[in-house]
Amino acid sequence: MKIVILASGSSGNATLFISGGTQVLVDAGVGPVVARRLLATVGIETWPPDAVVITHAHSDHVGSAPGFAGRLRVPVWATEATARAARLGDPARARRYASREPFTIGALTFHPCPVPHDAAQVALVVSDGTRRAAIATDLGEVTGALADHLAGCDVLLIESNHDEEMLARGPYPPYLQRRIRGTGGHLSNLQTHALLRDLSRRRALAPVVALMHLSETNNRPDLALEVARDVVGPRSRLLAAPPRGPVVIDATELPRMAPPPRLRPPAGPAPEQLLLFPRS
């Protein structure tokens, strides 16, 4: 599986997942022209994507969906709640998914998990049968169900939106600060740190972690990276996604993760755990 982060942050979000001849764009926060141009810079000429999957109804995620559904005739997948709240374009291209039920597009299966935000929102684990990559942005807090959902992924794209002090001292009015900080808002660097630490203690943290949806006003990439590096070991790849990519992550070259804890057999030796400590 290959992942291409095209854009990340409040000015637009779009990430392409590629495997087995299938290409699916998660969120349409950049339009087809920009997406195609960014992909061409990294040698990806297959166009258009097979589908667009929308996580929630905010314009930095859904704004360009009509552009894909229209002239390009790309199916646009969304939950019923998102479809009610956003303009998704040509109804003939509309596809629905339920926020707790897996759905498959070509070679990729999407496992959604609802997360708290001020719009109906999901985190997604994308699987091609060999690799699992997760994308979780735009959430006010990490639920236990989400931490379980993200355990054992090969790649984790996780929000690290703001530094709490920069937000408190920054230019945003109090009501907006409250919104960002609240359960319907966005994850701070410290909240992300707590999630990464939890996954690390369970030996279920992905070997590649990309920090996503960084605020350009209330965060700095070096700050977010410093906080996360505290728990992401030196053998893991850690990066901060820029507002505009492309950033390519090739998951095919990674050491294999053990299956997520909930899928492990209840008793007996677990030889796959040895794979967590590759000799290198």
Footprint of Zn ion on this chain (CB under 5 A)? 58, 60, 138
Torsion of CA 246, 251, 253, 258, to 10 degrees: 150
Minimum CB–partner distance for residue 94 and Zn ion (Å): 21
Nearer to Zn ion among residue 86 and residue 204 (C-beta): 86
Nearer to Zn ion among residue 54 and residue 205 (C-beta): 54
Minimum CB–partner distance for residue 87 and Zn ion (Å): 16
Nearer to Zn ion among residue 138 and residue 154 (C-beta): 138
Nearer to Zn ion among residue 188 and residue 236 (C-beta): 188
User: Residue 134 in contact with residue 155, Cβ under 8 Å?
Assistant: yes
Minimum CB–partner distance for residue 56 and Zn ion (Å): 6
Nearer to Zn ion among residue 127 and residue 137 (C-beta): 137
Minimum CB–partner distance for residue 219 and Zn ion (Å): 14
User: Residue 30 in contact with residue 6, Cβ under 8 Å?
Assistant: yes
User: Residue 231 in contact with residue 202, Cβ under 8 Å?
Assistant: no
CB within 8 Å of 184: residues ≥ 6 apart: 116, 117, 118, 140
Query: Distance between CA 224 and CA 100 in Å, rounded?
Result: 30
Minimum CB–partner distance for residue 237 and Zn ion (Å): 24
Query: Distance between CA 14 and CA 30 in Å, rounded?
Result: 6
